[in-house]
A and B are shown apart, each in its own frame.
Chain A
Amino acid sequence: AQKITQTQPGMFVQEKEAVTLDCTYDTSDPSYGLFWYKQPSSGEMIFLIYQGSYDQQNATEGRYSLNFQKARKSANLVISASQLGDSAMYFCAMRVPGRRALTFGSGTRLQVQP
């Protein structure tokens, strides 16, 4: 069975600072995909970034980057130069081959302070 663990229920960061949101995962499949989604207070789920288990490079999308450490089974999201609009819940999720379902972690609530 797959499992995603997000150990930080809440995080604070100052505007313009970088922040790292932790995510560890557990799967016996050698091939898998890791995702990060943002959920603002309005409730929608916004895709941020994807990392495949065989990708050689860490994924980056603008101010978002994924610090993928395969041996440690971690896929931490790094947000650089935080903005007030980054305040939201952030969910890490995983998909394994043969299944389309995403398994989500419990989320981290990020608050960016001016």
Chain B
Amino acid sequence: EPEVTQTPSHQVTQMGQEVILRCVPISNHLYFYWYRQILGQKVEFLVSFYNNEISEKSEIFDDQFSVERPDGSNFTLKIRSTKLEDSAMYFCASSSELSDEQFFGPGTRLTVL
């Protein structure tokens, strides 16, 4: 069964450093998303991406964040100058045009020290 994959599973970085989280969505899906979940809290939407551009973003998704689809398979989230409060689990998800169901990846746990 096709699935969303994410790398790395765990990333540790120093405050102020840049990180790139990588995702490979399901191959025939056209909508891609990033969500985050601070430990013990609910899942929060960050951004959605369609047709090579951001289609929707939350107020969390400020200038510190950017997304990119550098090739036909990868979807990345870049966080510039990480802050302690960026420590969270980051989930990538994808969906097709035909269904509302969003398939989530296993997540990347980001720890900012």
- A contact residues vs B (CB 8 Å cutoff): 33, 35, 37, 42-47, 50, 52, 91, 93, 95, 99-107
Least CB separation from A106: chain B residue: B42
CB neighbours of B103 from chain A (8 A): 47
Tell which of A43, A99, A107 touches B42, judged by Cβ atoms closer than 8 Å.
A107
CB neighbours of A93 from chain B (8 A): 43
A43 to B48, CA, bound (A): 21
CB neighbours of B25 from chain A (8 A): none
Interface size, B (range) = 20 to 34
A85 to B90, CA, bound (A): 24
CB neighbours of A106 from chain B (8 A): 41-42
CB interface residues, B 39-61, toward A, < 8 Å = 41-45, 48, 50, 55-56, 58
Q: Is A101 a contact partner of B48 (Cβ separation < 8 A)?
A: yes
Q: List 12 A-B contacts (CB under 8 A).
A: A33-B100, A35-B100, A35-B101, A35-B102, A42-B106, A43-B89, A44-B104, A44-B105, A44-B107, A100-B55, A102-B45, A102-B102
- B contact residues vs A (CB 8 Å cutoff): 31, 33, 35, 41-45, 48, 50, 55-56, 58, 89, 91, 93, 95, 100-107, 109
Interchain residue pairs A-B with the least CB separation, the first 8: A45-B104, A101-B45, A104-B43, A100-B48, A44-B106, A33-B100, A106-B42, A104-B42
